[in-house]
Amino acid sequence: MIKVKINGKDYFFEKKLLILQACDLAGEYIPNLCFDKRLKPIGRCKLCIVRVNGKIMTSCESFIENGMEIITDNDELKEYRKINFELLFQNISLDDIKISNDIKKLFEYFEIKNYGNDKKYDIRKVSNPFFTFDESLCVQCGKCVSACRELQGRFIWNFVFKGKKQRLSIGVDETFEEAGCEFCGTCVDFCPTGAISNNVKLNGDNIKTVDTVCSYCGVGCRVRLFTDGKNINVKPIQIGENYNSLCVKGRYGHSYIFSEDRLKTPLVRKYLLEKSNKSLDSELIEVDWDLALEIVVNKLIEVRNKYGADSIGFFSSAKCTNEENYLLQKLARQIIGTNNIDHCARLCHSSTVVGLIQSIGSGAMTNTMDDIIKNSKTIFIIGSNVTEQHPVFGVKIRRAVINRNVNLIVADPRCIDIADFSDIYLPIRPGTDIDLINALCRIIIENGWEDKEYIFERCENYDLFKEYILSINLDEYIKKTGIDYNLLFDVAKIIATEKPTALIWAMGITQHTHGVDNVLALANLQLLTGNVGVSGGGLNPLRGQNNVQGACDMGCLPDVFSGYQKVSDEKVIEKFENYWKLSGNFKLNRTIGKTVTEMMDGLDDKTLRALYIMGENPLMTEPDVNKVEKSLKNAEFLVVQDIFPTETSKYADVILPAASFAEKEGTFTNTERKINLINPLIDPLYNSKTDFEIIVLLANRLIKKLNLIPIGDCAKWDYQKISDVIKEINFTTPIYRFATYSRLKKGEDLYWPVYDEKSSGTKILHKERFARGKGKFHIVSNSNPYESPDNEYPFLLNTGRELYHWHGGELTRRVDELTKVCSKPIVMINVNDAKSYGLIDGDNIKVISRRGEIIAKVFVTERLKAGELFGNFHFPEGNVNKLTVKALDKVAKIPEYKVCAVKIERVN
């Protein structure tokens, strides 16, 4: 207990606090400007001075001590503070200043009654598409500098010059782009005066607001949306005393909601209205919902009756809610009678799911992001450009490195941004991940660093694995990876001895013809070192889209019902037959359905005749999209349900306008298995409907048309609201059993599996035992990619996303601010290769593979090795998926996006 005297009164505090904080708890106001409890004290403004035992000191930098006598206010202190205040605000236009509660309190203290004040001089404004810095409002408090450094791990803002000439500056060149700004907007949040402010401002008094969850990547940031009916502002929701960052898309990427490009009403091909032969040249006609749904129902029944249930396929969506995905797979299985239901997880983490189930029994991320940030001693990132694909988690990793000195190891063919913060960067050759991991395992075993007790108690098949690892030719493996042995030795030692070690990966590991084997190798490494089932460790695949984890959980996969209950398990089938029983001889399909890639092949060989696509755009995201285009033309009937017209919808017979995430209620499950409730900001715009409403309307029409009567406990489609669906998910899906609507509505953080009504679920999987019993070591060796560079196609092309756009770009290409920063397809090339072809930044090049060609802008860099290229798939005119090969992992059926052979030509 610490006893202090504040203004003559005794106070007792249980812990050591800053004087400013202690006085605040005692109810004594001390004016301050530069202090923020989320930042380290900097003591710049000198407004918070107090007298302590006769001496003047800044209360934001000094801690209370036993016996202190503190004077918070008197004429002397007020005079000193007034001088400091006038120095801070002497050149500030008070009529333009942001009068926040803190500023208002400060002005009341100094008796500033008239905010109006002429500017002493005009000072520069520095702007970017997202926010503007107005120097005439800057009091140089330093909050933006501290927030950028401490919270974002960036160093954009700084002070230059001294004395009266001192000013705030942006990098060396004083442009945000050249300084490396990520436009996260954190500085906007911390600026107390409005000197740094968002360019888009809301107008009027009728501002609507709602707390919800970001609709972009799998991190699942909680956000507060504001709208005046035309524009959107976004702020992070603060939880506790920690600052929750947002990325550029999460903060500034939601104006698409009000885009004029939105699908506004159902569209039907004219040939369907005329009941003539199919023609994609037929005009799209606006119709009402009743007619559009009637046509869809009639055509699906027609195809089903003619060719069978398995002639129809369904694409669900990682952008839609858990409830919407659950309902679509239920419609496919219960009413249509097919397991042809899949979604984009097939293209990103299907190999993760297969590999982890084989090794530990569950395909999900084992630890939470906060657990990794707070408790990991070492973080090993391989094949994941985390600061661009999962930016807020990337920011937290940077914080952990800066604030906790976490060991960070990064393995990636490109020297990606997070590598700048690493202790060791491994510039691995593409496709040699297994060679790298096996080499690390060999070094660990040779040096006796394996966790023997853990292996003995919790693992199986180790002796065979060890025998295999010790038999490999280490020199050959090292040569393949292109990494020096001494570097690998250091990495192996850190992973095995500086524990707990968290292993993180994404598409760089999974999108290969040997993606499952890659994941098995990663599991071997973590089992070998005892890093699974422990706080701060784990096997942690990062999910790409906002609800890709949830769509998997809900059974939008061809081989499982919700909760990963297998369609090949007779007991499971019987259970769902009782749940969903309809009149007649009701039986569920026992045949595993087609994957998304197999459905495209099915359109070609006529085993699939109709396709229903909800919220996906395969003509941007599938490999070899030229072939996909031909496949879609073969569909006898294609329905696209989406927010915008897409490249895929050009080939649709019926287009149904859906609502955005800001217009619906439901849940998303993020990459760490946390179930988040989303809430509507506005009602569905135009004549759109939520995907929930569309599916329910469609299902009820199908049931009525087929003369079916619901009999089972969950057979009816009488859902009135989202909570009705959540209740059914609780009933049918064990891992979601106690993730109830009422708990989610209260704001509880629930991580599946949630097995009782009091706990928050399971933040760390496999703590006591693995889901499969014992963790299993697997013998895996590297195999060559389907296609490698040769004399004709000498470059190796790697693909992925970039910071300012997301997935196929359907949303972000409709955000003006994002397109101002990145508006064209870009292909990265090594500086020496560029020199050989006479290329400079911004030149156009043609990139050609055996499947197609694109034209893109050149980005010349030293972060990519010679002979390698990197491109994205955000822009239709330069989509690298026109080049990628449709070669699949034999088990997971995931395409090999990360390796294909190309050549380049300069374009004048």
- Does the pLDDT of residue 125 top 80, yes or no? no
At residue 279, the pLDDT reads 85
Q: How far is CA 837 from CA 426, 904, 907, in A?
A: 28, 9, 11
User: How long, in residues, is the chain?
Assistant: 908
Partner residues linked to 539 by β-bridges: 503
What does the pLDDT read at residue 93? 67
Closest CA to 528 of 459, 429, 619: 459
Buried b (16+ CB within 10 A) or exposed e, 661-690: bbbbbbbbbbbbbbbbbbebbbebbeebbb
Closest CA to 433 of 512, 543, 353: 512
Please report the pLDDT score of residue 524 as a whole number.
Answer: 97
Q: Which two tokens stand for residue 875?
A: 């822009």
> What strand order describes the sheet that includes 69-71?
9-13, 2-6, 69-71, 49-52, 55-58
Q: At what angle do helices 515-528 and 350-359 cross, to 10 degrees?
A: 40
Distance of CA 559 to the CA centre of its chain: 26
Min mean pLDDT across 87-91, 807-811, 818-822 is at 87-91
Answer for the pair 578, 585: CB distance below 8 angstroms, yes or no: no
Q: Residue 681 has which token pair?
A: 């900001």
Note whether 804 and 821 are within 8 A (CB): yes
| pLDDT, tens digit, 9 for 90 and up, residues 195-219 | 899 999 998 888 999 999 999 999 9
- Rounded Cα distance, 324 and 308, in Å: 25
Can you read off the two tokens belonging to residue 316?
């669900």
In terms of Cβ atoms closer than 10 Å to its own Cβ (0-12, 13-18, 19+), residue 475 is exposed
- Tell me which amino acid residue 553 is: D
Distances (CA, A) of 694 to 4, 223, 666, 844: 65, 26, 15, 44
Q: What is the pLDDT of residues 146-173, one digit of tens each?
A: 999 999 999 899 888 777 777 888 865 5
622, 881 contact by CB (below 8 A): yes
In contact, 199 and 131? CB cutoff 8 Å: yes
Name the DSSP class of 881. G
Q: Which pLDDT tens digit goes with each residue over 96-122?
A: 677 677 788 888 888 876 554 444 445
Express each pLDDT in 685-743 by its tens digit: 999 999 999 999 999 999 999 999 999 989 999 999 999 999 999 999 999 999 999 99
**Share of residues in the chain with pLDDT > 70 (%):** 97
Quick check: 594 and 627 in contact, CB under 8 A? no
Where does the pLDDT of residue 124 fall: very low under 50, low under 70, confident under 90, or very high at 90 and above? low
Between CA 144 and CA 168 the distance in angstroms is 10
Contacts of 286 (CB under 8 A, 6+ apart): 265, 266, 267
Q: Which carries the bigger pLDDT value, residue 630 or residue 238?
A: 630
**3-state DSSP assignment of residue 198:** strand
Alpha-helical (H) ranges within 406-543 are 433-446, 452-458, 462-471, 474-481, 485-497, 507-510, 515-528
pLDDT above 90 covers a percentage of the chain that reads 79
Q: What is the reported pLDDT for 782? A: 86
Averaged pLDDT, 84-94: 78
Q: How far apart are alpha carbons 709 and 690 in whole angstroms?
A: 25
3-state secondary structure 234-265: EEECCECCECCCCCHHHHHCCHHHHCCCCCCC
Cα 435 to Cα 117: distance, rounded to the nearest angstrom: 68
Q: Residue 171: what pLDDT? A: 65
Q: Which residues 6+ apart lie within 8 Å of 158 measured at CB? A: 145, 168, 169, 171
Buried b / exposed e along 765-795 (16+ C-beta atoms within 10 A): bbeeebbbebbbbbebebeebbbebeeebeb
Average pLDDT of span 587-607: 95
pLDDT in tens, 130-145: 999 988 888 889 999 9
The residues, ordered by sequence, that sit 6+ positions from 85 with a Cβ below 8 Å of its Cβ are 31, 47, 106, 110
Q: What DSSP element (H or E) covers 109?
A: helix 101-109
Q: Which helix (H) or strand (E) holds 529?
A: none
Tokens of 417: 């941004």
> What pLDDT does residue 801 have?
87
For 398-409, the pLDDT digits (tens) are: 999 999 999 999
Q: What is the rounded (10 degree) CA torsion for 282, 287, 291, 296? A: 50
Contacts of 420 (CB under 8 A, 6+ apart): none
Kindly state the greatest CA–CA separation across the chain. 95
Residue 121 pLDDT: 45
Structure confidence at residue 120 (pLDDT)? 47
**What is residue 785's DSSP assignment?**
-
Give per-residue pLDDT as tens, 470-510.
Answer: 999 999 999 999 999 999 999 999 999 999 999 999 989 99
Quote the tokens at residue 323: 């409830």
DSSP-assigned letters across all residues of 565-579: EETT-HHHHHHHHHH
pLDDT on residue 95: 67
pLDDT value at residue 114: 58
Q: Model confidence over 674-698: pLDDT tens digits? A: 999 999 999 999 999 999 999 999 9
DSSP symbols for 580-647 = S-BSSS-----S----HHHHHHHHHHTS--EEEEES--HHHHSSSHHHHHHHHHH-SEEEEEESS--T
Torsion from C-alpha of 97, 101, 104, 108, nearest 10 degrees: -170
Residue 543 gets the label, from left (phi > 0), alpha (psi -120 to 50) or beta, of: beta
Rounded to an integer, the average pLDDT of 889-908 is 90
| Contact (CB, 8 A) for 413 and 797 | no
* 512/175 Cα distance (integer angstroms): 39
Q: Six-digit token pair at 880?
A: 């690298």
User: Among 788, 807, 902, which residue's Cα sits nearest to residue 852?
Assistant: 902
Q: Angle at CA 406, nearest 5°, toward 401 and 407?
A: 110
> Which token pair is 319?
């952008």
Structure tokens at 764: 């760390």
Q: Which of 70-84, 443-457, 484-498 has the lowest mean pLDDT?
A: 70-84
Structure-token pair, residue 13? 């505090």
Q: Are 217 and 361 in contact (CB under 8 A)?
A: no
- Three-state DSSP state, 850: coil
Write down the mean pLDDT value for the chain. Answer: 92
